[in-house]
A and B are shown apart, each in its own frame.
Chain A
């Protein structure tokens, strides 16, 4: 039975450092939810608040509608996968997995059976008698997951569990975690600083910075419609062009910039004359010698790097504003000599204008 997690204006501070600032959010039952943010943004604190290792300084946490105030981590319907996994080194793999059942007083044969079933689930059948030290990194990872699932939690909390693994294994385990979540239907709360992980696995992503929840949305939305400049530049590559608002109406803003007047969508109303930043993704910029797009930029090529599936072009406007283009490798690639002139354009719908 999966349950929802309700964060009701939760704040937490360590001495005079505010780690989590007034976070209000409802993580739905059965959802794969990721908190994404740089290290020190408060996401680990948030996870530990949900797990019950620390009590919030203000606000309430409800899991499945039940107020968790004063309820210790051992009596919450959550289970956590630790960053370093925290497998018990003195116990066998099976004893690790069955630990949660053991402390609940489940008898030995049932424990053994459950551990065996979970070992099947994580594709390590018959490995229960091994010592933890004998397992590889990926195997330990899966044992940690099995150990957490053994107690049939309503919510599984994952604290950057893939960060210690190498790239190949990480990508493989991403898919496995996602499949596992689908199969078990347990609510997953995942924290990571790796946007690739967050975007690939999650139903919804919460982007955090400096203790503040910046935006909560589906990965596609976070990427396409960032709510704040932080989200725009933290999630994926982005080009930022600063300017002054000339006018803003009907969800569109016209900005005066050093590269000329530019039009983009504006999710929130902006006052004329105020400073604003326009964000446009590298892959949304395209060569536009004919001037067919809503916006047009005259640039000079600085660098060009071939990356197989695409070509990354570093360019700059007349005032030196740096911009990046990602041109898909669709067979014919323009020859872009350094310092050659390059006219690019983009659609107004592909650009977002945000208050800085």
Chain B
């Protein structure tokens, strides 16, 4: 044993406990889906069942909530993607001093509690434009901070962009719109794809902001939370399991793609 370090086994044990802590609750939640009990639990284990998946299928409110979530998510992507892209392009063109200030304002929604974003949006749009809570206001409120994620992702890629490519295209006679469409956007495409995925997921999962601006519309996340608070059944677990499966598949795909792109870039750089 080395006096200058913690013993290796202690660290290993800690990691084991940490990852158990990370995954055990999720595993228990997943397992509870298949327990034939009215309340979601794994003890006592009564019998294996798939009936809670059936219960989901017959839940009209759930399907309505899912439709709302998909609609809101799509709306957020449509709004946040161009806004985040524009913001990143604007930042790149600003003088350093102005850039620091504008950047701080742009990332501030990420450092603001979601409930406050929801409240501020609700008050502003109702008072100034008579727009009350609902799916539309939810899109506006969520996009106000999700645009910042998009901006950061685009900005990270834009930093690696060689501006002489734009100049070369311009020099060859392309209009500025053609440069954007043929040179800049294709270069940014991977970041925009990742941003769209992230934006949709953020919107789909959002609870704190949505809570204040949803009006009478219910998103899936809101629906799940309300189910947990009022009469929870393992149907919620079944729904959670499906969502987790989808999310994990999406996350793994996203991570894998990021790696492949990074490797390809390295290979290209090494080749050049």
- A interface residues (Cβ-Cβ under 8 A, vs B): 51-53, 72-75, 78-80, 82-84, 86-90, 99-100, 102-104, 133-134, 147-148, 150-151
The one of B164, B187, B271 that contacts A82, using a Cβ cutoff of 8 Å:
B164
B174 adjacent to A99 (CB under 8 Å): yes
Interface size class of B (residues with CB under 8 A): 20 to 34
For the complex of A and B, list the 4 residue pairs with the smallest distance between their C-beta atoms, beginning with the closest.
Answer: A100-B172, A86-B168, A103-B174, A86-B164
Counting chain A CB atoms within 10 Å of each CB, the highest count among B164, B173, B175 belongs to B173
A79 adjacent to B171 (CB under 8 Å): yes
Closest Cβ of chain B to A272, distance in Å, is 53
B170 at the interface (CB under 8 A from A): yes
Counting chain B CB atoms within 10 Å of each CB, the highest count among A74, A79, A83, A87 belongs to A74
A79 adjacent to B172 (CB under 8 Å): yes
Q: Which stretch, B12-20, B42-50, B178-186, touches the partner chain A?
A: B178-186
Closest Cβ neighbor of B168 among chain A residues = A86
Q: Which residues of A contact B187 (CB under 8 A)?
A: 90
**5 cross-chain CB contacts under 8 A:** A53-B170, A75-B173, A82-B168, A88-B169, A103-B173
CA distance A90 to B261 in the complex (A): 13
Contacts A84-B164, A86-B162 given; indicate if A133 touches B272 (C-beta within 8 A).
Answer: yes
Contacts A86-B162, A88-B183, A90-B187 given; indicate if A103 touches B172 (C-beta within 8 A).
Answer: yes
Q: Which residues of B contact A72 (CB under 8 A)?
A: 170
Q: Which residues of A contact B168 (CB under 8 A)?
A: 80, 82, 86-88
Closest Cβ of chain B to A86, distance in Å, is 4
The one of B162, B165, B173 that contacts A104, using a Cβ cutoff of 8 Å:
B173
B268 at the interface (CB under 8 A from A): yes
Q: Which of B223-272 contact A (CB under 8 A)?
A: 268, 271-272
Closest Cβ of chain A to B265, distance in Å, is 10
B205 at the interface (CB under 8 A from A): no
Q: A82-B168, A87-B168, A88-B165 are in contact. List 4 more A-B contacts (CB 8 A).
A: A84-B164, A88-B169, A90-B187, A103-B172
CA distance A72 to B268 in the complex (A): 33
Counting chain B CB atoms within 10 Å of each CB, the highest count among A51, A103, A134, A151 belongs to A103
CA distance A72 to B167 in the complex (A): 11
